[in-house]
Amino acid sequence: MNEQWIFGIDGGGTSTRLRIENLEGSLLFQSEGPSLNPRSAGWDGSQRTLVQLFSEMYEQTGLVPDSCLSGFAGVAGIDRAEDTGTMLGLIRNAARLGPDTALEVKNDSIPALAGAFGELRGILLIAGTGSIAVGANGAGRIIRSGGWGHILGDEGSAYWVGLRALNAAIRFHDRRGPQTDLLGSALAFFEERDPFALIPAVYEPFDKARIAAFARIVAEERERGDEVAEQIFKEAAEELALLAISIATRLGEVLAGGRIAFAGGFFSNNERLWHDTEARIIASLPRHRIYSPQADAASGACLLARQNIEKPRF
């Protein structure tokens, strides 16, 4: 099949989605695979994911590499120029693309912003396994806040909530912290009986996605009235709001107002967190309004890929 096509990649912290569209924007193929983030999957893991997704796509669609005009990939953990170059090479090789195919790689927050508003303008606050905010003013200025990863940051994210809850659980066990049902919940979640068994359960092997998944249990304890869980979610909303507020401040839009969209599974699965975060943002940015994204990051990546066809290349 010689139909011309473009692709978008949403390489998040826990999974990767490949979306193929024709030049008119119609969906030709979409599939999901493991994480593309080289900080967690390693470069070999990134390569395996890309080969898996593109091989599956070619087999099922009959499309050919020579008909690909452009691609855009948003990848978690990609910020430095050297990492961008390495990822570009992996994608070009996995998709078997020639040098004439326009290809761009950015942090995964960029196509998410484009998908949210249909353009690179506005503020997008993402709370999933990790957390990040990204904003653009329409004049080409793009600013990020957060997105420092699970060791340096990710405040307010599912991972952050899960880790804070585990910390609160063991502090209660040691009688260094207030009473909480989170200890029993943690033991049940990790299928252990002895609190000390949480050490190998968490560290061997370390899996941040599993810790993030524990946040769902923390939310359930919050609904049951656990005060420690309630405090953790209160602090999560405050941290997430700060990400968006910091973007508006740096863009000079505190008084002018603007659009803020919420995205990420942690938001979509926690209505109270959504509303608590919104209230904190509007208290500081009363002229801003909160929206749901128009489209997802994979669609945003395709939008940017389509725009790249028109850009001059040297």
101-133 pLDDT, tens digit each: 999 999 888 999 999 999 889 999 999 888 999
- Tell me the β-bridge partners of 118: none
Give the strand pairing for 121-127 and 131-137: antiparallel
Q: Quote the DSSP letter at residue 64.
A: -
Same domain? For 167 and 26 the reply is no
Same domain? For 151 and 279 the reply is yes
CA dihedral 98, 104, 108, 113 (to 10 degrees): -130
pLDDT the model gives residue 73: 95
Q: How far apart are CA 101 and CA 124, in angstroms?
A: 29
In this structure, how many other beta carbons lie within 10 angstroms of the beta carbon of residue 28?
17
Same domain? For 102 and 10 the reply is yes
Query: Residue 32 belongs to what domain range?
Result: 5-118+296-309
Same domain? For 111 and 132 the reply is no
On whether residue 86 sits in a domain, the answer given is yes
Same domain? For 105 and 88 the reply is yes
Same domain? For 229 and 271 the reply is yes
Same domain? For 128 and 267 the reply is yes
Same domain? For 135 and 280 the reply is yes
> By the 8 A CB rule, do 232 and 94 touch?
no
Same domain? For 165 and 287 the reply is yes
On whether residue 314 sits in a domain, the answer given is no
pTM here is 0.83
Same domain? For 168 and 193 the reply is yes
- Span 200-253, pLDDT tens digits: 999 988 988 899 999 999 999 999 999 999 999 999 999 999 999 999 999 988
